[in-house]
């Protein structure tokens, strides 16, 4: 069965297109239609209701846990056994395409639809899931739902997180109708699999059909608050200024230099993705800047060194500029290696389907890294066109690329679901 069963690529692609209409907007910079389904907004709620309806139509029994993760369960022949779980997320960054996360959720749903078409039963139950706020752009902490479900983050701490307007995760979950009742932290799947777009250029450039994901690199996020003094832009002599905007720019430039210095290996990456100035007016020297710092490194040791050096740099620049720089860590995850037996299974399934594959370390964070603490876990990557651009409305993978990845996902899931 595992060798021959093939998903319906057109059905998968049209589901991706339909979900991509929820939160669609015209992106003036990219010149194309993008997707904005920021976590726990009305658009996220609408996307959730659509996908949940599809879960039910596929015969899945739907439950929602206390952090709003949604699970659709398909019975197994030995239904008491721990399930094989397939999942990802449907929330998005505000400038997204239609594939990031959605491919993993709708691909898993397509796998179930395919099994339903041929009335195939699996020994273990299957669970298709989507997790709350994987992106972390609204409340500041990524992989939020899966981190709570796997006990890395306490539920109450997650509930209390606030967005920029002071709205809490708990309140917003309630508002969109996804504050569920299922307890968190109890689910122990037999295995977890996730199909996701690569979000980078490697597979496409190497002309590989799929990626076998080795693991996820370390991620460290912080929020800096720079406090200077707002003043008149025309009358205040330059030497009197305490310009928080200038300090943010200096830190951003120094961060880039640090990143490219080679002291943290060749694969260090950093971004200051948000800089918010107050009062943000043409004729006022900014008195306050709040900015985010995103650091990534495959090595935990090099990441620790980069964090310490950047903290030192912040103190030095604050001193030089005569203002205060406070730093607050908002998220941190170590390098996470995936299960080697599941990686081998994914490579084997790709071989059997005649698909070329490549081992690859993930640059992006994923729900899979959370589940890997509780069960054997690995991921399948799908190449992206346009240099694999992602977190951008121009993100694009072809129907065949998506179908190949999901066929590998299905093949691997079927093997895991027959295991004792
Ligand atoms: C998730 O998309 C991340 O920021 O890596
Ligand atoms: Mn994602
Ligand atoms: Mn993403």
- Residue 395 CB–ligand 1 contact under 6 Å: no
Same domain, residue pair 223 and 366: no
Residue 4, in any domain of the structure:
no
| Confidence at residue 30, expressed as pLDDT on a 0 to 100 scale | 86
Residue 292, in any domain of the structure:
yes
Same domain, residue pair 313 and 351: no
Q: How many domains does the chain have?
A: 2
Closest C-alpha among 364, 382, 398 to residue 92? 364
| Confidence at residue 2, expressed as pLDDT on a 0 to 100 scale | 44
| Confidence at residue 256, expressed as pLDDT on a 0 to 100 scale | 98
Residue 1, in any domain of the structure:
no
| Confidence at residue 336, expressed as pLDDT on a 0 to 100 scale | 98
**Angle at CA 119, nearest 5°, toward 118 and 121?**
120
| Confidence at residue 1, expressed as pLDDT on a 0 to 100 scale | 46
| Confidence at residue 195, expressed as pLDDT on a 0 to 100 scale | 99
Alpha carbon of 150 to ligand 2 centroid (Å): 18
| Confidence at residue 4, expressed as pLDDT on a 0 to 100 scale | 76
* pLDDT tens column, 255-291: 999 999 999 999 999 999 999 999 999 999 999 999 9
Q: Domain span at residue 382?
A: 9-217+335-417
Residue 2, in any domain of the structure:
no
Atom of ligand 1 nearest to the CA of 93: 2
- Burial (Cβ within 10 Å: 0-12, 13-18, ≥19) of residue 283: exposed
Atom of ligand 1 nearest to the CA of 364: 5
- Residue 364 CB–ligand 1 contact under 6 Å: yes
Same domain, residue pair 95 and 63: yes
- CA–CA distances in Å: residue 79 to residues 22, 193, 204: 35, 19, 40
CATH number at residue 298: 3.30.70.360
Structure tokens that stand for 9 in this block: 């690529």
Alpha carbon of 45 to ligand 2 centroid (Å): 18
Euclidean distance between CA atoms 6 and 185, whole angstroms = 34
Q: What is the pTM of this model?
A: 0.96
| Confidence at residue 66, expressed as pLDDT on a 0 to 100 scale | 98
What residue's CA is closest to ligand 1, atom 5? 364
Structure tokens that stand for 174 in this block: 């309630």
| Confidence at residue 413, expressed as pLDDT on a 0 to 100 scale | 98
Alpha carbon of 216 to ligand 2 centroid (Å): 12
Residues of the chain with pLDDT under 70: 1-3
Answer whether 16's CB lies under 8 Å from 98's CB: yes
Residue finishing a domain among 299, 333, 367: 333
- Residue 365 CB–ligand 1 contact under 6 Å: yes
Same domain, residue pair 314 and 194: no
Same domain, residue pair 324 and 344: no
């Amino acid at each position: 069965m595992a060798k021959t069963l093939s998903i319906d690529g057109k059905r998968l692609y049209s589901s991706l297109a339909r979900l991509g209409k929820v939160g669609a907007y015209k992106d003036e910079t990219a010149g194309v239609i993008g997707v904005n389904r920021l976590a726990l907004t009305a658009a996220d709620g609408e996307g959730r209701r659509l996908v949940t309806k599809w879960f039910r139509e596929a015969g899945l029994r739907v439950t929602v846990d206390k952090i709003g993760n949604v699970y659709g369960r398909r019975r197994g022949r030995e239904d008491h056994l721990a399930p094989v779980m397939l999942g990802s997320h449907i929330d998005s960054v505000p400038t997204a395409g239609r594939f990031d996360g959605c491919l993993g959720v709708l691909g898993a749903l397509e796998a179930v639809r395919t099994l339903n078409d041929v009335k195939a039963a699996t020994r273990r139950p299957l669970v298709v899931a989507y997790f709350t706020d994987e992106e972390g752009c609204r409340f500041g902490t990524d992989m939020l739902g899966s981190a709570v479900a796997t006990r890395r983050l306490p539920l109450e701490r997650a509930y209390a997180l606030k967005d920029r307007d002071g709205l809490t995760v708990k309140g917003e979950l309630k508002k969109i109708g996804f504050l569920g009742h299922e307890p968190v932290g109890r689910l122990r799947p037999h295995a977890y699999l996730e199909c996701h777009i690569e979000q980078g250029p490697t597979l496409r450039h190497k002309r590989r059909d799929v990626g076998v994901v080795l693991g996820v690199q370390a991620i460290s996020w912080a929020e800096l608050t720079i406090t200077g003094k707002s003043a008149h832009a025309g009358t205040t002599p330059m030497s009197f200024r305490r310009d928080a905007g200038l300090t943010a720019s200096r830190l951003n430039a120094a961060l880039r230099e640090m990143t490219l210095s080679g002291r943290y290996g060749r694969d260090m990456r950093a971004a200051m993705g948000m800089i918010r100035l107050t009062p943000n007016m043409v004729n006022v020297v900014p008195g306050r800047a709040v900015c985010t710092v995103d650091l990534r490194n495959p090595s935990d040791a090099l990441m620790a060194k980069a964090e310490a050096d950047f903290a030192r740099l912040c103190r030095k620049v604050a001193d030089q500029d005569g203002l205060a720089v406070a730093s607050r860590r908002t998220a941190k995850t170590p390098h996470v290696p995936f299960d080697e037996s599941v990686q081998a299974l994914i490579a084997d399934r790709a071989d059997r389907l005649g698909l070329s594959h490549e081992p690859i370390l993930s640059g992006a964070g994923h729900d899979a890294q959370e589940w890997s603490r509780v069960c054997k876990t690995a991921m399948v990557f799908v190449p992206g066109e346009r240099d694999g651009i992602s977190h951008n409305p121009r993100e694009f993978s072809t129907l065949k690329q998506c179908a190949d990845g999901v066929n590998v996902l299905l093949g691997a899931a079927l093997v895991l679901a027959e295991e004792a």
